[in-house]
Amino acid sequence: MFYKISKLSLSVGLICGSALFLSACQNETGSNTQRQNDSENAAIAVYDEALTDLISFTESGTKHDVTLDGVTTSFQGASNKMQVTFSKDTSIPTMSITPDTPWDLSALPAHNIALDVKNLSNGSAHLYMALVNPKGKNQRRSLSIPKGFEGTIFVPLTGKEAETETGFWGDAPVWPDAGTMMVWRSWRSEQVDLSKIAKINFFMIGTLEDKIIELNNVRIRKNPPSDPNWMKGIVDKFGQNAQREFPGKVQSEEHLKQLANEELAALAASKGPENRSRFGGYTKGPQLEATGYFRTEKVDGKWWMVDPEGYIFFSHGPANVRMANMTTLTGVDYDAPEIRERRAEEVTPEDSMGIIKIPNNIKEQKYTISPLRNGMFEWLPDYNDPLAEHYSYRRSTHKGAIPYGETYSFYRANLDRRYGNDGNESFLRKWEEVTIDRMHDWGFTSFGNWVDPAFYAAKQVPYFANGWIIGDFKTLSGYKNHWGLMPDPFDPVFAERAQHTIDVLKRKVKGSPWCAGIFIDNEKSWGERTGTVPQRYGVILDALSKSAEESPAKAAFSQRLKDKYTNIDALNAAWNTSLASWSSLESGVEFTEFSDALVADLSSLLEALGEQYFVVVHNTLEEALPNHLYMGARMANWGMPDEIIKASLKYSDVLSFNIYEEGVQAHAWDFLEKVDLPTVIGEFHIGTATDSGLFNPGIVHASDQKDRALMYKEYMASVLSKPYMVGAHWFQYADEPITGRAFDGENANIGFVNVADVPYPELINAVKDVTYNMYETRLEDK
């Protein structure tokens, strides 16, 4: 529950305090950061003069409203610094600060918002800040604050550094002497007007331990002078950060080959974990029925997958082990519209396309579509260079500054440099071999979703096949269309496209026992689990607003409502509406108020929508691939309404959720014990921008590579302890490009390996600590 604090004053007035930060202070989690901070005080102070003070914390008066959910606050003596404790027992513990009237920043020169923080937690703390304008739109930023850190963090709000659409999430540092810049959490292209700020929310998401942050002196500062070279020449020829040194950075092609040879020797000597079947099951565990295919079974109160030989199996490994979605836009396009043409029979979405070879006659029509992006690269190969074969093309983008254009894969180019190329992409065959050897050495038992089909035929590591249902069927718009509009599963064309997609999968899988299961689609726009009626039932409201003639879902819903209410007067009485006839309903209706009966009907219709989707997918899969597990809909924790979970239970062999949090909180997820179906985590990760050379740490932040490894182990401990969990898949195998993947600009340190295909040693050691003992750990956990 939200409540108002009566004793807390958020007074306006300048509070002097040094801004303490040096990026190197994050190099050692838990270390005493004061020794690094001291040398920076003078430099940062130059840019620390406040244009206006927003919030100063004192214990008397009631200047602003403060609401808390899962948060407690306290002061130390006469200090103006407020300690904020974010509880692990709340999914999103939040402190909201609302002024009597919105802060008006419209007359200020180019500026940034800054605040002083100190981390008093036992480990790093991933703090989010959302700035909300009077229309309720918000811009979100976040940062992993190392244990013991004390200093200034900031966000550019206006000026070149805030307003330039770079085409990716995390930007190169703007003013090194101004403090620590928080990382974008909103889509960069969705510029939110923050000339007035109506609310500031501080929150955390899915913590496994209470976190304590000391806050002080929230202020607006004038921006330092802009660097004319910002965003210029930031990427070297290996696709790395050209302006920073960091552990694992490749210095030359000779160095790259040396690192590769050292790893190959270590892999050749590895025997991997003991007591594993050829499919990765645990041979020292209970011997169960062997069916020749993967299945699930509950044993002594815990769910397990069971491998084809009858051994208990826990699915753990990387997702997105492929070359698709690993290219970045170069800022070049071609005056050749035919390259963007699509074919009606396509089953592969744009972000899953591999390398597309560009004809020479089209390359001759090149021009620079974005000088900003094109200037980010110190090097791109000439078209007659052997490494030019790693150019590709993106016909459309989901987010970003460029709608389409030429792309380049530095990851593929580095594999080419590492292993050589005989003209038939031999470097890819070597990459496949090394990847399989890594899977065995690292103790992983399976690939996750989106694995290159080349690994299907290898028959050395279990995998999950995947398909997307795309095509020209009707769609519905919800509150959050994160990856696009929701398919209308009542449209017969949806069933036709599902059949086409699954037929392609059938030909690829070939009934192989190495296929552990099948995912169809990902993170569909079902709606929110909690929130307002439009947030929860947006897709149903959209359907009801359409005519029954244009919307198959509307036609189905109209019939269900007729069957329930029999006459329009009964529906009007329940909904508090005044529809003249059933024809009025069928022609389209919108709502401004929602009676309890209407909300109940919206809920019922959402469940019906979900059931229709799962009926189509499940039945088509069952007919085509009857021996393989259907792994559900990979619901994101931001879009998993109870109605859709309920609908999925009837048709999924295994439930799947993408859980981007610090771990699996019991209070949030133990409803799955009552559901009593096996569950797999389709995606999770932890990243850092501090010592990876990248600008974006991903969705869940660590303070450095050591902290990243620790957080991975803590996450997996929370998974292995849950009786309903049968797997967890890390997204993804390799880091995203530093200048953003071409589809949407994601550019995070979320890989087990970097852009040069060099593993992160801290994370890999942590992986082995988990995987070499995970069966024993889970069996012994009572």
Mean pLDDT calculated for residue range 729-755: 96
Let me know: does 714 contact 369? Beta carbons within 8 Å: no
Amino acid identity for residue 211 in this structure: K
Give percent above pLDDT 90 in the chain: 81
Let me know: does 206 contact 70? Beta carbons within 8 Å: no
Let me know: does 327 contact 407? Beta carbons within 8 Å: yes
Give percent above pLDDT 70 in the chain: 93
**Res 420: pLDDT:** 93
Task: Report the mean per-residue pLDDT for the chain.
Answer: 91
**Res 481: pLDDT:** 67
For residue 561, CA distances in Å to 361, 475, 588, 604, 726 come to 58, 21, 14, 10, 40
**Res 77: pLDDT:** 64
pLDDT exceeds cutoff 70 at 516? yes
| Residue 30: pLDDT band with limits 50, 70, 90 | very low
**Res 143: pLDDT:** 96
Mean pLDDT calculated for residue range 118-137: 96
pLDDT exceeds cutoff 50 at 600? yes
| Threshold 0.85, pTM exceeds | yes
pLDDT exceeds cutoff 70 at 22? no
Q: Which residue is listed with tokens 């993408």? A: 658
pLDDT exceeds cutoff 90 at 107? yes
Query: What angle is formed at CA 141 by the lines to CA 738 and CA 34, rounded to 5 degrees?
Result: 85
pLDDT exceeds cutoff 50 at 47? yes
Let me know: does 206 contact 91? Beta carbons within 8 Å: yes
pLDDT exceeds cutoff 50 at 398? yes
Let me know: does 719 contact 725? Beta carbons within 8 Å: yes
| Residue 1: pLDDT band with limits 50, 70, 90 | very low
The pair of structure tokens assigned to 532 is 């307002």
Let me know: does 170 contact 741? Beta carbons within 8 Å: no
How does pLDDT run across 560-587, given as a tens digit for each residue?
999 999 999 999 999 999 999 999 999 9
**Res 44: pLDDT:** 55
Give 717 or 185, the one with higher predicted confidence.
717
The pair of structure tokens assigned to 146 is 């190392």
Q: Which long-range contacts (CB under 8 A, 24 or more apart) does 732-735 make?
A: 732/318, 732/319, 732/320, 732/321, 732/450, 732/685, 733/318, 733/319, 733/320, 733/321, 733/435, 734/326, 734/411, 735/692, 735/694
Q: Give the Cα separation of 603 and 618 in Å (integer).
A: 22
How does pLDDT run across 181-222, given as a tens digit for each residue?
999 887 766 778 999 999 999 999 999 999 999 999 999 999
Let me know: does 111 contact 222? Beta carbons within 8 Å: yes
pLDDT exceeds cutoff 80 at 3? no
How does pLDDT run across 632-652, given as a tens digit for each residue?
989 988 778 999 999 999 999
How does pLDDT run across 532-552, given as a tens digit for each residue?
999 999 999 999 999 999 999
Q: Give the Cα separation of 46 and 485 in Å (integer).
A: 48
Q: Give the Cα separation of 122 and 638 in Å (integer).
A: 28
pLDDT exceeds cutoff 90 at 413? yes
Q: Give the Cα separation of 512 and 462 in Å (integer).
A: 10
The CATH code of the domain at 9-222 is 2.60.120.430
Amino acid identity for residue 582 in this structure: W
**Res 2: pLDDT:** 30
pLDDT exceeds cutoff 60 at 699? yes
How does pLDDT run across 255-304, given as a tens digit for each residue?
999 999 999 999 999 999 999 999 999 999 999 999 999 999 999 999 99
**Res 43: pLDDT:** 52
pLDDT exceeds cutoff 90 at 60? no
Q: Which of 608, 239, 223 is nearest to 413 (CA)?
A: 239
**Res 97: pLDDT:** 95
The pair of structure tokens assigned to 350 is 């744009």
How does pLDDT run across 354-396, given as a tens digit for each residue?
899 999 999 999 999 999 999 999 999 999 999 999 999 999 9
Reported as type and span, the H/E element at residue 138 is: strand 138-145
Give 21 or 122, the one with higher predicted confidence.
122
| Residue 590: pLDDT band with limits 50, 70, 90 | very high
Q: Which of 663, 625, 681, 69 is nearest to 319 (CA)?
A: 681
| No. of helices (H) and no. of strands (E), the chain | 21, 34
| Residue 693 φ/ψ region, left for φ over 0, alpha for ψ in the -120 to 50 degree band, beta for the rest | left
Q: State yes or no: cis peptide before 36, omega within 30 of 0.
A: no
Amino acid identity for residue 388 in this structure: A
**Res 31: pLDDT:** 43
628-641 in b/e form (b: 16+ CB < 10 A) is bbbbbbbbbbebbb
From the CA atom positions of the chain, what is the Rg in Å?
Answer: 27
Instruction: Name the DSSP letter for residue 282.
Output: E
Q: Give the Cα separation of 471 and 344 in Å (integer).
A: 7
Q: Domain coordinates of the chain in residue numbers?
A: 9-222
Q: Give the Cα separation of 181 and 152 in Å (integer).
A: 9
CA dihedral (415, 419, 423, 428) positive or negative? negative
List alpha helices for 464-526, DSSP H.
Answer: 492-509
**Res 283: pLDDT:** 98
Q: Reduced to 3 DSSP states, what percent helix, strand and coil does the chain have, rounded to the nearest 5?
A: 30, 25, 50
How does pLDDT run across 417-458, given as a tens digit for each residue?
999 998 889 999 999 999 999 999 999 999 999 999 999 999
**Res 21: pLDDT:** 26
The separation between the first and the last C-alpha atoms of the chain, rounded to the nearest angstrom, is 34
